Structure 1
Amino acid sequence: MDWNQIEGKWTQLQGDIKKQWGALTDDDLAKIDGDRDKFVGKLQERYGKAQADIEDEIRLWMANSRLDEH
């Protein structure tokens, strides 16, 4: 899966995203609207982690996600 797929299915993936990162609100997800930079920034803000750590988490989540289920 690549980010273009995630961006294209952002609305369908919001439930999965909230399961993974429960500190994100519906409002956060609406504002992010599939933008990777906004997503990384909001995760940094909510979790207080370094950008590299957030990027690693996103890569792992992407590797384990199955877009064909959505």
Structure 2
Amino acid sequence: MNWDVIQGKWKQVKGSVKEKWGDLTDDELDQIDGNKDKLSGKLQEKYGWAKDDADRQIDDHFRDRTY
């Protein structure tokens, strides 16, 4: 998935992100604003994952989605 597309459609996308990673708050999702690095950082912080694990989770989540 192209992150420019995700960033441009973040308001629609963040619902699926919230559903997948429910520990993220609405405020955090607003701060992330479609930025993959910020999302990765928040997932590392909330779930205690290494950067590679967070990036893999993100890639897996967005791989087959169309927005």
What corresponds to 2:13 in structure 1? 13
Identity %: 46
> How many residues align structurally?
67
Supply the AA of the counterpart residue of 2:44.
Q
Separation in 1 of the partners of 2:23 and 2:17? 10
Which blocks of at least 5 consecutive residues in structure 2 are unaligned? none
TM-score (normalised: structure 1): 0.88
Residues 11-69 of structure 1: CA distance to partner in whole angstroms, max 9, x if unpaired? Answer: 111111111111101000011111111111111001100000011111111112221xx
The Cα RMSD (Å) is 0.9
After superposition, residues 57-68 of structure 1 pair within 5 angstroms as: 57-67=57-67
> Are the counterparts in 2 of residues 2 and 62 from structure 1 also a CA contact under 8 Å?
no
Deviating beyond 4 angstroms after TM superposition, the runs of 4 or more aligned structure 1 residues are: none
